[in-house]
Amino acid sequence: MCSKMKRTISDELASDPRVIQAKRQLLDVLVEYQERIKGIRPPDPDLRVPYDAFLKEFGDLRGGALFFPYLGSGLGNGVLVELADGSVKYDFISGIGVHHWGHSHPAIVEALLNAAMRDTVMQGNLQQNVESVSLARTILSAANRKGAELGHCFFSTSGAMANENALKIIFQKKYPADRILAFEGCFMGRTLALSQITDKAAYRECLPPSLSVDYVPFFDPARPDESIRAALDCLERYLARYPGKHAAMCIELVLGEGGFHPGTRDFFLSLIEVLRQHQVAIMVDEIQTFSRTTELFAYQYFGLDDYVDVVTIGKSSQVCATLFRDEFKPRPGLLSQTFTGSTSALFAAEVIIRGLIERDFFGPDGRIAKLHDHFETRLKQIQERLPGLIAGPFGIGAMIAFTPFNGDHEKVVKFVHALFDAGVISFYAGSDLSRVRFLLPVAAVTFDDIDAVCAILERTLRSA
């Protein structure tokens, strides 16, 4: 007979019937209050004055006003969220992709309750708990499911830091190469180094140069063969001009901030073949695409598993991470962070990623594909009723966008604010040609929610 499995005191606490019952009661109460949030609602006049004062104070404290007048109350019901002024809105941007399971999802709240029983708020370089091991195992198993060979997973608290760690790993491996290749229109972050790669001059204003970056044009679906040839020609010119100097190409498989433009497998493979010939590392930035296509990783969707060297994930994963092959394993001292993630984020990440893997979210007939098709159909119907006013829709999976007002940036931003006032939270992407974008909370949003949002969207367009 097998001896009884030895348990820690912490294990005994987690399984104590009193703890289990207390969590059940709290979750029952949560659901009771969530049921009172059933649709959009205007601000409560009695709350509006103190709310406006809070907004002004917070803008002063942080050194600049918020993009939206948004301060949450702390409660929501799936795709609906309550603000501290008593209003309720449809959240179709999910904190630019963070709230992938919506607001106050009971499974996430339960994960946070479990985390609250742990000994520390943050985990870091010297002290990690067992949940870090479990999550790293879960992520790498999913990452390598279709043939990728990513052997390691290093956690961090932001997508920018995950990308910074990726660059450090690559530069150390490829020394003395010191240049980076990236796509025109890319976004990698706003740190001192990443702002040099992000293709937006405003994000580098008055900052000292820290990296040498060469930009390659992205895929154009209107002229696929020509755009592949143009990208290859540009890439080969840079490789010839700076022989042996490029450490990596930073690849967004879907341009996020650039307007939700997806590439194609043929496009990426054409570039990767050349990059491989010149020993240039393939870094894939999945901070925004992770869990939003019909595969958990976008590189799996595009069939690039055999080629990825370093991959970064974030946003919907709660804890951000840098995944890399064995040959890119850094020497001691290169990577070290006081905070690699909060305990609550680690618990929530495990629930979210396992839930995505184990349920019917992925594949051509999965939930993400169905949500995309439904939203796309509704947007096309609006386009038919309002000819010439909007173009699109664009995007892939849970990343959906359309272009109103011929992409005029000021008009698009004004429209996004008008949508907010009408009860729908969206955002914009792109600058020269701006789009309204949505990042669907896939575990919370329903077809009825999409229909309701599209009705508000159409009314707002008609009155713009």
Can you give the pLDDT at residue 266? 98
Helix/strand/coil for 364: coil
Compute the distance between CA of residue 389 and CA of residue 373 in angstroms, rounded to an integer.
Answer: 21
Q: In the numeric block, which tokens belong to residue 221?
A: 């679906």
pLDDT band at 258 (very low <50, low <70, confident <90, very high): confident
DSSP secondary structure string for all residues of 197-224: HSS-GGGGTTPPP--EEEEEPPP-TTSH
Residue 5 clears pLDDT 80, i.e. is over it: no
Can you give the pLDDT at residue 222? 94
Residue 383 clears pLDDT 60, i.e. is over it: yes
Can you give the pLDDT at residue 4? 64
Compute the distance between CA of residue 88 and CA of residue 422 in angstroms, rounded to an integer.
Answer: 10
Pairing label, strands 399-404, 72-77: unpaired
Residue 3 clears pLDDT 70, i.e. is over it: no
Contact 153, 323 (CB under 8 A): yes
Compute the distance between CA of residue 142 and CA of residue 290 in angstroms, rounded to an integer.
Answer: 12
Average pLDDT over residues 138-161: 97
Compute the distance between CA of residue 163 and CA of residue 324 in angstroms, rounded to an integer.
Answer: 12
Mean pLDDT across the chain: 96
Peptide bond into 262 cis (omega under 30): no
Average pLDDT over residues 309-316: 98
Residue 6 clears pLDDT 90, i.e. is over it: no
Contact 271, 249 (CB under 8 A): yes
Helix/strand/coil for 149: coil
Compute the distance between CA of residue 10 and CA of residue 19 in angstroms, rounded to an integer.
Answer: 12
Q: In the numeric block, which tokens belong to residue 439?
A: 């990042």
pLDDT (tens digit per residue) in 104-141:
999 999 999 999 999 999 999 899 999 999 999 999 99
Kindly report the backbone phi and psi dihedral angles of residue 402, in degrees, each rounded to the nearest multiple of 5, phi listed first.
Answer: -145, 160
Residue 2 clears pLDDT 60, i.e. is over it: no
Residue 186 clears pLDDT 50, i.e. is over it: yes
Can you give the pLDDT at residue 433? 86
The helix or strand, by DSSP H or E, that contains position 82, with its residue range, turns out to be strand 80-83
Residue 200 clears pLDDT 70, i.e. is over it: yes
Residue 15 clears pLDDT 90, i.e. is over it: yes
Average pLDDT over residues 29-44: 97
Q: Roughly what angle, to the nearest 10 degrees, separates helices 447-463 and 409-422?
A: 120
Can you give the pLDDT at residue 1? 42
